[in-house]
Structure formats: structure tokens, C-alpha cells
């Protein structure tokens, strides 16, 4: 059978059925997200990040943006973010994630929370206005906020990011380098940033207790972070064996399904209920 390029069989100017299906799906996703933003159908899902050492409590929570479809189903970011992240609606999602997070911090003064951001957020006026408004309202709120930036985003505009970090750390805001190890940041680049913490990418964490290559990578990443006096969080911790390896090698905090999945019901409220009942 003659295997020719399928595109050669298509009329000029037409697209393959696969490309058409992808385009149609992306358009539908974009419309769903836009509709959710317009009707205020967005929420944060919260996942606990646990202290590695005693008393093994919750160090802070991470808030992940979610949208609700017309049926009320909660849609995780992985199903829409790749479609919206380089569009105006993606910047709106950044604003909403920050706004939800700051409202939670304002309402619950005993929690600490991290929210994802990107370098594009810094140059988006509405996003900075949201942040500044809450900080002016409560000068101490920033001390309970952690902003997470991926390596890729940080390296896309390093001067912009470092300037922003320097200004915000004056308000007590902490910064975490997300997906540590998965990007292209060189060791020397850490000298120009002011990260308080790193989050080791999950690809190196899952099954690490039985993977000697990943064990070497994780030890190296921990060593780099410690050299620069940065707090170390391991993402995607899914087994007790992995957790024990990570703790033994100096990780400060653990995050993953072993300790709880992201939940749109704030887990600290359930924790308070349980403590009240047992007390």
C-alpha cells in the first residue's frame, strides 16, 4: 500500500478532519470558559501542603482555578488552560484566581495560601490592581500569600519578574518556583531571582523510591535549593514510600494525593469542624 502524506489528498485550503475536530473542540472550550467568567462561575480548588517534619500539620494550601460548565460540573484547569493561556481570557482567569485566593485569606485569617501566576500577570493592569487593593486593605495579608511562577514563565521575562518580586516581598509576599527541574533555569539564574521556595516537578517525584535515576535528580535539586536557602516542596506525592524517601533527603513539605486531592470545599473548614467535634 502506498502510504502518502494525508495532506496531499486534501483540496488546497482545506484542513484535515483531525485539525478541524481539534479547532472545534478548542472553540467550544474557549466559549465555555468565557461564559463561566461572564457569569462568575469560577472557583478555587484547594489542596493541602504538609509539613515534612513534626508536627506534620498543614503548612499552607494551594489554590487551583476551576470553572463550572452549564450543568454545574467542576472543570479542572488541565482541560481548558492550554486553550486560554495565551489569550485575553487567560489573563482574566489569572485575575479571578488571585481574587478568589485573596478573598479566602481575608475571610480566614488563620490560613496561608499559594496561587499560581505568570509573568504576563505582572503587566496586566487589572491583576496588579486586585493585588494592590487587598494589600492596602490589610497590610499583613501579604505575609500569608505565596505566588507560584513556573520556570518557563520566569525565564520568559526575568527582569520584569525580579523587579516585581523585589517590590512585593516588601509586603511579605513569598514566591515559589513551580515545576522545579522541568524547565531551563540554569543554576546561575538563581542569583538574579528572589525565590523563597521551589516545588520539585512531579515527574521526578512519582515512584521516586524505586527509581534510582529520579533519586539522583531529586537529591541534586534539593541540594541546589538548599545552597540558595530555599524552602523545598515535593509535588505529586502519591505513596508513603515516596514520602519517606523525600523526607529522608531533606524535603521540607509534601503535596499530593497521598494527603488529599484539590477540593472546592475549603478543607480548613472541615478540619475546624473535626477539631470542634473531637474537642
HEC readout, the chain: CCCCCHHHHCCCCCCCHHHHHHHHHHHHHHHHHHHHHHCCCEEEEEEEEEECCCCCCEEEEEEEEEEECCCCCEECHHHCHHHHCCCHHHHHHHHHHHHHHHHHHHHCCCCCEEEECCHHHHCCHHHHHHHHHHHHHCCCHHHHEEEEEEHHHHHHCHHHHHHHHHHHHCCCCEEEEEEECCCCCCHHHHHCCCCCEEEECHHHHCCHHHCHHHHHHHHHHHHHHHHCCCEEEECCCCCHHHHHHHHHCCCCEEECCCCCCCECCCHHHHHHHHHHHHC
**Residue 24: is its pLDDT beyond 50?**
yes
Give the domain ranges of the chain. 24-278
Whole-number pLDDT of residue 210: 98
**Residue 3: is its pLDDT beyond 80?**
no
**Residue 4: is its pLDDT beyond 50?**
no
Whole-number pLDDT of residue 278: 55
**Residue 55: is its pLDDT beyond 60?**
yes
- What mean pLDDT is predicted for residues 44-49? 97
Q: Confirm or reject CATH 3.20.20.450 for domain 24-278, answering yes or no.
A: yes
Whole-number pLDDT of residue 251: 98
Give yes or no for a cis peptide into 55 (omega within 30° of 0): yes
Give the CA distances from residue 207 to residues 97, 163, 204, in Å, rounded to whole numbers and listed in that order.
31, 37, 8
Read off the pLDDT band of 15 (50, 70, 90): low
Whole-number pLDDT of residue 6: 43
Of 193, 184, 112, which is closest to residue 152 (Cα–Cα)?
A: 184
Give the CA distances from residue 103 to residues 60, 99, 145, 205, in Å, rounded to whole numbers and listed in that order.
15, 6, 11, 32
- What mean pLDDT is predicted for residues 5-15? 49
Q: Higher model confidence: residue 65 or residue 29?
A: 65
- State if pTM tops 0.85: yes
Return the percentage of the chain with pLDDT > 70, whole number.
87
**Residue 267: is its pLDDT beyond 70?**
yes
Read off the pLDDT band of 146 (50, 70, 90): very high
**Residue 201: is its pLDDT beyond 90?**
yes
Instruction: Assess contact for 108 and 266: CB atoms under 8 A.
Output: yes
- What mean pLDDT is predicted for residues 89-108? 94
Mean pLDDT of the chain: 88
Radius of gyration of the chain (CA): 21
Amino acid at each position: 500500500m502506498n502510504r502518502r502524506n494525508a495532506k496531499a489528498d486534501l483540496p488546497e485550503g482545506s484542513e484535515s478532519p483531525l485539525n478541524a475536530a481539534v479547532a472545534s473542540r478548542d472553540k467550544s472550550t474557549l466559549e465555555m470558559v468565557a461564559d463561566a467568567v461572564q457569569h462568575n462561575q469560577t472557583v478555587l480548588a484547594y489542596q493541602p501542603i504538609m509539613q515534612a517534619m513534626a508536627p506534620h500539620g498543614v503548612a499552607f494550601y494551594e489554590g487551583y482555578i476551576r470553572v463550572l460548565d452549564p450543568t454545574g460540573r467542576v472543570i479542572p484547569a488541565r482541560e481548558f488552560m492550554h486553550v486560554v493561556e495565551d489569550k485575553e481570557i487567560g489573563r482574566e482567569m489569572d485575575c479571578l484566581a488571585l481574587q478568589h485566593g485573596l478573598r479566602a485569606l481575608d475571610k480566614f485569617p488563620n490560613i496561608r495560601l499559594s496561587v499560581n501566576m505568570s509573568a504576563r500577570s505582572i503587566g496586566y493592569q487589572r491583576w496588579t490592581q486586585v493585588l494592590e487593593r487587598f494589600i492596602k486593605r490589610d497590610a499583613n495579608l501579604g505575609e500569608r500569600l505565596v505566588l507560584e511562577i513556573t520556570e518557563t514563565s520566569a525565564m520568559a521575562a526575568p527582569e520584569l519578574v525580579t523587579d516585581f518580586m523585589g517590590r512585593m516581598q516588601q509586603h511579605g509576599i513569598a514566591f515559589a518556583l513551580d515545576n522545579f527541574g522541568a524547565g531551563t533555569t540554569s543554576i546561575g539564574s538563581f542569583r538574579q531571582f528572589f525565590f523563597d521556595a521551589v516545588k520539585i516537578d512531579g515527574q521526578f517525584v512519582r515512584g521516586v523510591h524505586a527509581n534510582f535515576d529520579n533519586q539522583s535528580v531529586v537529591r541534586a535539586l534539593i541540594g541546589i535549593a538548599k545552597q540558595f536557602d530555599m524552602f523545598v516542596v515535593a509535588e505529586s506525592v502519591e505513596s508513603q514510600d515516596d514520602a519517606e524517601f523525600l523526607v529522608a533527603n531533606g524535603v521540607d513539605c509534601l503535596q499530593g494525593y497521598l494527603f488529599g486531592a484539590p477540593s472546592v470545599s475549603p478543607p480548613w473548614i472541615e478540619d475546624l469542624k473535626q477539631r470542634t467535634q473531637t474537642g
